[in-house]
A and B are shown apart, each in its own frame.
Chain A
Amino acid sequence: MRHVLKNVTLDVEQGEFVSIVGTMGSGKSTLLSLLAGLTMADTGTIVVDGTPVSGIRNDAAFVFQNYSLLPWFSAIENVRLGVEAAFPAAPPAEQRARAREALERVGLGNALDRKPRQLSGGMRQRVSLARAFATGPRVLYLDEPFGALDALTRETLQTDLAQLCAERDRPVTTVMITNNVEEAILLSDRIIPIIPGPPACLGPSIAVELLRPRTLAQLAHDEHATHVRAHVIAALTAAMPRRGRPASPDAAAALRTAEPAKATGQA
């Protein structure tokens, strides 16, 4: 049996936005599934908030890479599905209002009754986001949410997500998986590279000390952002397996000693 992940410790503060960055196949999706309770670990336990994970929490929301919208429901009906499940006792009018509000927040106020096949990829992912936010979650898990979109649509949605996360009345603790370093810098408070295995483990986290919400234009010229970008890429490339040489946790350890004083977290 292959060990996909081993000895993973992740500390996330309430309200923090943490990105786990790595290449394809490095075990990121598995890690997120385990965190969220979507899959169970074969061996070992996962403890979130002091309690062992045994299924999806009722205050958590999940956004998949491939929208996962039901094709026979319209946009608003898809969002309502989430609202009804999260607030079963609320009257239908209120549920509908919540769903509509969530869709308006993501800019789809005019497309409420459209079916997924009548929506573009970017719009479908917005519906997915609306469905996640409509349930008023305390924790949000995002699995490469914009991976299936073209680069331009991706940038638009990244900016929108940054806005959405910043304008919450209550802070939402968010764990996102991505292979796009820019995206991670735009959205996160901390970036954690994943060192591929098997078994994979997490590298030292790198803090992004800029106020949220940020814009891509702002990041292009910011000195701290440039520094973070270099650091993350270095962490990822140092740990990447080269021809003839397997992935090296030692390289990551060497990186740890060389890191600037601001980085926190541990592997």
Chain B
Amino acid sequence: MKRVVHFLLPLCGIGMALLAWWAASAAVPDLPSPVRTWEESKIYILEPLAKRGESDQGILLLAYYSLVRVAQGFLLGIAIATPIGFLLGVSPILTRMFDPLMQVLRPISPLAWLPLGLVLFQKSEPAALFAIAVCSMWPTVINTMMGVRAIPQDYWNVAKVLRLSRTTTFIKIIVPATLPYMFTGYRLSLGIAWLVIVASEMLTGTPGVGGFLWQEYNSLVYAHILLAIITIGVVGFALDRLMGLAEARLRAV
């Protein structure tokens, strides 16, 4: 009985949201109802990997394009952010040097970085990767830095009394101790990377979920906007879950 209720409750929540959507669509003429959205979108969902034209592809294919770019930008971002986080964690001097700069750069929206990316790289793909990397690096930098700062004095004492070299201290003490914090950072960074890719695709019109959304808006096919929105949410949720699984695997080690 408990299990039934356990699964029923989220379904109720979703049901209520659908109801609210339906009510809104009745009130606003341009907004398609859930039923109409399904009618107009089902071809994209039922043939997720079809490619009927550059601007007319199945939903999984579109998501795949976006994900590839996210992966590239995200990996680039954490490759830069992780060493920076370690350096800032061990050096109070460097932290003091770069902290004001970081605080100013952090809140800058991807939409502001994108034009700069276009200026630097001329083409939209590298500009998008640049925007993803720069926006998503901050949670990793900060969490990694905090992780190093949180290393208990006990572990530093071990390094001291055993007279471990700097390299050994780094590999055998600092990295394992910081790993949980690093993964928290990665999870947050991945979330931001996914946000950024949608925004940058919308701005540059490259094929992907964000590109599809903007294109359908311009083509006045509003049902597809909603399809895109739901897809973005579901994929974002799946990414977060996957990262959480990876984190849990690591903790068990």
Contact = CB atoms under 8 A, between A and B. Distances in A.
- Most B CB contacts (10 A, CB to CB) among A36, A58, A82 go to A82
Contacts of A81: 158, 162, 164, 172
A144 to B, nearest CB: 14
Interface in B130-165: 154-155, 157-158, 160-165
A68 B157 contact: yes
B173 to A, nearest CB: 7
Contacts of A56: 160-161, 163
A64 B158 CA distance: 9
Contacts of A69: 158
A263 to B, nearest CB: 32
Contacts of B165: 85
Interface in A70-105: 70, 72-73, 81-82, 84-86
Contacts of B91: none
A131 B172 CA distance: 16
B109 interface: no
B135 to A, nearest CB: 32
Nearest to B179: A72
Contacts of B157: 38, 64, 68
A84 B167 CA distance: 13
B10 interface: no
Given A81-B172, A85-B168, A68 B163 contact: no
B176 interface: yes
A232 interface: no
A82 B173 CA distance: 13
Given A81-B172, A85-B168, A68 B160 contact: no
Interface residues of B, number: 15
Given A70-B173, A72-B176, A85 B163 contact: yes
A73 B172 CA distance: 9
B154 A64 contact: yes
Nearest to A83: B162
A62 interface: yes
A206 interface: no
A131 B163 CA distance: 13
Contacts of B163: 56, 58, 85
Contacts of B253: 72
A38 B164 contact: no
Given A70-B173, A70-B176, A85 B164 contact: yes
B155 A82 contact: no
Contact of A38 (B154, B161, B172, B173): B161
7 contacts: A58-B163, A64-B154, A68-B157, A70-B155, A70-B172, A85-B162, A131-B162
Interface of A: 36, 38, 56, 58, 60-62, 64, 66, 68-70, 72-73, 81-82, 84-86, 131, 135
Given A56-B163, A68-B157, A69-B158, 13 more contacts: A38-B157, A38-B161, A62-B161, A68-B158, A70-B158, A70-B172, A70-B173, A70-B176, A81-B172, A85-B163, A85-B168, A131-B162, A135-B162
User: Which 7 residue pairs are nearest across A and B when measured between Cβ atoms?
Assistant: A62-B161, A72-B176, A85-B162, A68-B154, A68-B158, A82-B162, A85-B164
